[in-house]
Structure 1
Amino acid sequence: MSYRIRPGKPLTGEVVRIAQIQYERAIHVLRRQPDGPYQAIHDARKRFKRLRGLFRLVRAAAPDFFARENARLRDMAATLSEVRDATALVEALDHLLASGAAGESRPALKAIRARLAARRDRIATAAVDLDARITAAIAICQDGIGALADLQLPARRKKAIALLAGGTAKNYGKAVSALERAIESGDPEDWHDLRKRIKYHRMHIQLLSLAWPGEMALRARIADIAGEALGDDHDLDALKTLIATDPEAIGSEAEIAVLRACMIARSARLHDQVRDIVKNLLGDSPGALEAHISALWRDAAG
């Protein structure tokens, strides 16, 4: 129940309960670091994303709260992202090597991967202020818990249901539009926007899953698969940025040419995969989804 809104319960209390759990778990992992500081940061950043998804769901009823807390979480995550971003580039090479896009280019890709792994290790070693950043993040999480006292959401059941259904449908509509734009333009930013919308949709479905666990679990699974594919594509775009800003970190011009060709092939396959995955997930109109969720939640709330 840690990331699920319970039907029939006061909405403010449910959102505060869920948010406090996410903040406390982020604090715990940042303090304890059972698998080291970098895994702790990775785990905490997942909690921050869940918090942003939760607050986005009820944004319409608390716009000022959302703006303030979303900025708090976004900025905090950014201070902890450097090593994780470098790690993601190594993982992008791993995915390329495991995909059909590698072909006869495996030796060049392995050499590039080794350089990116060394770059990641240098960045990790140079992060001398990491402890200070983690301490600051813990303090910000504690401030976030305190700020939950300011949150006030509709107390009446009808308005609470409308808020949840409307918040889900609004983000869903943006996902539908993002898919259309991404297919038409091919712009990496449009594909990245689709990824964000799919991720938020997955969070919203999980938050509302007690209304109809079977259907919601299926939607969440489809969103997970699409989100993973879009995440791989986003990492390829980050590689493209590194090629433009620091080509020496990649390798020779010949190696970069090989990498570019593999990236283009891999990205095209990922886009095709995403289109197939989400054609049913995003097949309804936002209005139809809103009405469906409203009906489910009314039944579940009793």
Structure 2
Amino acid sequence: MSYRIRPGKPLTREVVRIAEIQYRSAIDILRRQPDGPYQAIHDARKRFKRLRGLLRLIRGAAPEFSARENARLRDVAATLSAVRDATALVEALDHLLASGAAGENRPALSAIRARLAARRDCIATEETDLEARITAAIATCQDGIEALGGLRLPRSRKKAVAVLAKGTARNYGKAVSALETAVETGEAADWHDLRKHIKYHRMHVQLLSRAWPGEMALRAGTAGLAGEALGDAHDLDTLKTLIATDPDTVGGEAEIAVLRVCMITRSTRLHDEVRKTVSNLLRDAPDVLEAHIAALWRDAAG
């Protein structure tokens, strides 16, 4: 698998190999656009997220490199986000309509969805410089590939194990803390912070899956379910922001009142679902997970 670190191989070489695969995949998708430019952008942004997850894993051993390349990826993704962000709001309405939260309010929600879809299409029409931004994104990916030549990670097997175990545990510990904070405050920003760390944890166990495929696949699957639920909740929070800043785009007062009730119901269910989903995933202390990952990786590396 392309997004897997091979135990026993030089860590720098493995990280460079994986990063280059992700960069070249993004370049190929953006150039060919087999399903159109917007799907290509969506697929390329997935590669950027995987690259950022890889950088977060090794950040402790290469802080300057990781910070610089993470900023590169964050910035290029931002240049390609406008239509994707508008599409996410349409999908939020789709999920509301498909959930039990809609109830008898389907006509009002359907009308709002139609307006949000029109807004998305308008944004797409106004993106007259899209091809130029895609070309710039391809150039940025090529720069990222060149920058990989400057990465230097520990060469000894013992130190490489420590980098991977500590990197995984560091992000995992932030996920544990983020869950506690989100449950306590209920604030959208805190749930979004949890989402970020859960998604990175999923990437990290995918990267380390050759150490124990069964356990890592289970952790990745659980984190994936939680990440999807948190993503749906984040889209609702983004919709809430649009209601506050541009209510006329969404609908009239009566429709918005209906939408708010449905959003609260759906958001509450999603957060309850997340708490149940991650109860076992985040049950261990970070130092326990670090020791476990280190032991697994030492055994796998031979």
| TM score, norm. by length of structure 1 | 1.00
| 1:4 aligned residue | 4
| 1:139 aligned residue | 139
Q: Which amino acid aligns with 1:63?
A: P
| Matched position secondary structure for 1:60 | coil
Deviations 1:49-76 (A, max 9, x none): 0000001100011100011000000000
User: Could you say what the CA RMSD is over the residues aligned between the two structures, in angstroms?
Assistant: 0.4
| 1:1-302 → structure 2 map (5 Å cutoff) | 1-302=1-302
Shift of 1:31: 0.2
Shift of 1:99: 0.5
Q: Which amino acid aligns with 1:201?
A: H
Separation of aligned partners in 1, 2:21 and 2:217: 22
Separation of aligned partners in 2, 1:282 and 1:124: 40
Separation of aligned partners in 2, 1:80 and 1:255: 31
Separation of aligned partners in 1, 2:132 and 2:247: 31
Q: Which amino acid aligns with 2:94?
A: D
| Matched position secondary structure for 2:35 | coil
| Matched position secondary structure for 2:242 | helix
Shift of 1:24: 0.0
Q: Which amino acid aligns with 2:43?
A: D
Shift of 1:172: 0.1
Q: Which amino acid aligns with 2:242?
A: L
| Matched position secondary structure for 2:104 | helix
Q: Give identity over the alignment, percent.
A: 79
| Matched position secondary structure for 2:100 | coil
Shift of 1:149: 0.5
Q: Which amino acid aligns with 1:29?
A: I
* Moved >4 Å (runs of 4+): none
Q: Which amino acid aligns with 2:265?
A: A
Separation of aligned partners in 1, 2:248 and 2:69: 39
Shift of 1:199: 0.2
Q: Which amino acid aligns with 2:202?
A: R
| TM score, norm. by length of structure 2 | 1.00
Separation of aligned partners in 1, 2:61 and 2:283: 27
| Matched position secondary structure for 1:104 | coil
Which consecutive residues of structure 2, in runs of 5 or more, have no partner in the other structure?
Answer: none
Separation of aligned partners in 1, 2:182 and 2:131: 39
Which consecutive residues of structure 1, in runs of 5 or more, have no partner in the other structure?
Answer: none
Shift of 1:138: 0.1
Deviations 1:205-257 (A, max 9, x none): 00000000000000000000000000000000000010011101100011001
Separation of aligned partners in 2, 1:133 and 1:244: 30
Shift of 1:190: 0.2
Deviations 1:171-203 (A, max 9, x none): 000000000000000000000000000000000
Deviations 1:122-175 (A, max 9, x none): 100110000000000000000000000010000000000000000000000000
Q: Which amino acid aligns with 1:225?
A: L
Separation of aligned partners in 2, 1:24 and 1:254: 49
Aligned length: 302
Separation of aligned partners in 2, 1:178 and 1:95: 25
Shift of 1:110: 0.2
Separation of aligned partners in 2, 1:110 and 1:41: 27
